[in-house]
Chain A
Amino acid sequence: MIIQAKGIKKSYGNRLNRTEVLKGIDLTIEEGEFVSIMGPSGSGKTTLLNVLSSIDQVTSGHVFVEEQDITTLKEKKLADFRKEDLGFMFQEYNLLHTLTVKENILLPLSIRDIDKKEAEKQFELVSKELAIYDLKGKYPSEISGGQKQRTSAARAFIHQPKIIFADEPTGALDSKAASSLLHKLKQLNSKIRSTIVMVTHDATAASYSNRVIFLKDGLIYSSLRKGERSQEEFYMEIMNNQSVIGGVGVES
Chain B
Amino acid sequence: MSLNRIILKNFFKSVKNYALYIFALIFSVVLYFSFVLMSQDDTIAAELQSESVMSTGFTVGSVLLVVIIVLFVMFANSIFLKRRNKELALFQLIGLRRKKLLRILVLENAVIYFGSLVSGITLGFLISRMLLLLLLRMLQIELSIGMSFSVTAVTQTAILFVCIFVLLMIQNFIFLKRTRLVDMLKLNQSIESDYRGIGFWTIVSGFLGLVMILSGYWLSMNIMDFGTVLVPLLLGILFLTIVGTYLLFKASVAFVLNVIRQSKNGRLNVKDVLSLTSIMFKMKSNAFLLTLISIISALSMGLMSFSYISYYSVEQSVNASISNDYVFYEEEEMLFYSELLDESGINHEVRTVPFLNYEATGEGITINTPRGGSEIDLVIVSADHIESATVKENEIIIKGLISTLDAFMNFEINSPITLFNSDYEQTLELIEVDGEAILPSHVARGALQAVVSNEVYQKLEEQYTYDEELRDNLVSYAIDISEEDSQEIFELMNQDGHHSFESRINQYTVQMQGAGVMMFVIGFVGIAFLMTTGCILYFKQVGEGEDEKESYKILRKLGFTVNELVKGLTIKVVLTFGIPLLMGLLHTYFAVNAGWFIFGSEMWLPMLTVMIGYVFLYLIFAFFSLLYYKKIVRESI
Question: Which A residues lie at the B interface, using CB under 8 A?
Answer: 55, 75-76, 79-84, 86, 88, 94-100, 102-103, 105-111, 116, 119-120, 123, 136-137, 139-142, 155
Rounded to whole Å, the gap between the CB of B549 and the closest CB of chain A is 12
Q: Within residues 387 to 411 of chain B, which ones have a CB less than 8 A from any CB in chain A?
A: none
Task: Please tell me if the beta carbons of B193 and A116 are within 8 angstroms of each other in the complex.
Answer: no
The answer on a CB contact under 8 Å between A110 and B267 is: yes
Contact B559 A108 (CB under 8 A): yes
B197 adjacent to A141 (CB under 8 Å): no
Q: Which residues of B contact A95 (CB under 8 A)?
A: 554
Query: Given that A100-B266, A119-B267, A123-B266 are contacting pairs, would A139 and B559 also be in contact in the complex, using a CB cutoff of 8 Å?
Result: no
Q: Flag whether B576 is at the interface (Cβ < 8 A).
A: no
Which 8 residue pairs are nearest across A and B when measured between Cβ atoms? A83-B559, A82-B559, A98-B277, A79-B561, A102-B266, A110-B269, A94-B554, A139-B195
CB proximity of A6 to chain B, nearest CB, Å: 24
A-B CB pair tally, cutoff 8 Å = 89
Q: Is the CB of A111 within 8 A of B192?
A: no
- Cβ of B560 under 8 Å from chain A: yes
Q: Say yes or no: B270 contacts A111, CB within 8 Å.
A: yes
**Do A75 and B562 have beta carbons less than 8 Å apart?**
yes
Chain A residue contacts of B561, Cβ below 8 A = 75-76, 79
Contact B559 A84 (CB under 8 A): yes
Bound form: Cα–Cα A252–B383 in Å: 113
- The answer to whether B267 touches A140 (Cβ under 8 A) is no
A-B CB contact pairs (8 Å), 13 listed: A55-B557, A75-B561, A82-B559, A97-B195, A98-B281, A99-B273, A100-B266, A103-B277, A107-B273, A120-B265, A140-B192, A140-B195, A141-B196
B557 touches which of A76, A82, A106, A110 (Cβ 8 Å): A82
Q: Determine if B265 and A116 form an interchain contact, defined as CB atoms under 8 angstroms apart.
A: yes
Cα distance A136–B557 in the bound complex, in angstroms:
23
Q: Is the CB of A139 within 8 A of B196?
A: yes
CB contact under 8 A between A142 and B559, given known A99-B277, A119-B267 = no
Distance (Å) between the CB of B621 and the closest chain A CB?
24
A103 contacts B268, C-beta separation under 8 Å: yes
Is B108 in contact with chain A by the CB < 8 A criterion?
no
Quick one: which of B270, B550, B561 has the most chain A CB within 10 A?
A: B561
Docked complex Cα distance between A107 and B558 (Å): 8
Interface contact A79-B559, CB-CB below 8 Å? yes
Contacts A140-B195, A141-B192 hold; do A99 and B268 have CB atoms under 8 A apart?
yes
Size bracket of the B interface = 20 to 34
Task: Give the complex CA separation of A140 and B197 in angstroms.
Answer: 11
A98 touches B273 (CB 8 A): yes
Binary contact readout B268-298 vs A (1 if CB under 8 angstroms, 0 otherwise): 1110010001101100000000000000000
Q: Is B85 at the interface (CB under 8 A from chain A)?
A: no
B605 within 8 A of A: no
Docked CA distance A80–B559 (Å): 6
Main secondary structure of the interface of B (DSSP, over half): helix
Residue of A nearest to B280 (CB): A98
* A141 with B266: CB separation less than 8 A: no
Q: Given A99-B268, A106-B266, does the pair A83, B192 have CB atoms closer than 8 Å? A: no
Say yes or no: A79-B268 contact (C-beta < 8 A), given A98-B280, A107-B273. no
A111 touches B269 (CB 8 A): yes
Of A79, A88, A109, most B-chain CB atoms within 10 Å: A79
Kindly list 11 other residue pairs between chains A and B, CB separation below 8 angstroms, not including A83-B558, A100-B197, A116-B267: A76-B561, A94-B554, A94-B557, A96-B277, A97-B192, A97-B195, A98-B273, A110-B268, A110-B270, A120-B265, A139-B196
Q: Taking the nearest CB of chain A, how far is it from the CB of B564, in angstroms? A: 8
Name the distance in Å between B38's Cβ and chain A's nearest Cβ.
47
Q: Tell me which of A97, A111, A119, A136 contacts B560 (CB under 8 A).
A: A111
- Within 8 Å CB of B195, what residues of A? 97-98, 139-141
Distance of A121 Cα from B128 Cα, bound (Å): 67
Q: How far is the CA of A75 from the CA of B196 in the complex (A)?
A: 35
Task: Give the distance in Å from the alpha carbon of A103 to the alpha carbon of B268 in the complex.
Answer: 7
Interface hits, B131-150 → A, CB 8 Å: none
B193 to A: closest C-beta gap in Å: 5
Interface status of B366 (Cβ within 8 A of chain A): no
> Which chain A residue shows the least CB distance to B550?
A94
- When the two chains form their complex, are residues A83 and B560 in contact, meaning their CB atoms are under 8 A apart? yes
The interface residues of chain B lying within 8 Å CB-to-CB of A141 are: 192-193, 195-196
- Residue B556, interface by CB 8 Å: yes
Contact status B273-A96, CB under 8 Å: yes
- Contact check, B269 vs A55: say whether CB atoms are below 8 A apart: no
Q: Which residue of B lies closest to A79 (CB)?
A: B561
**Any A CB within 8 A of the CB of B62:** no
- Min CB–CB distance A99 → chain B (angstroms): 6
B423-456: CB near A (< 8 Å → 1, else 0) gives 0000000000000000000000000000000000
Query: Is there a chain A Cβ closer than 8 Å to B551's Cβ?
Result: yes
Is B637 interfacial (CB-CB < 8 Å)? yes
> How far is the CB of A115 from the nearest CB of chain B, in Å?
10
Residues of A within 8 A of B269 (CB): 110-111
**B556 touching A79 by the CB < 8 A rule?**
yes
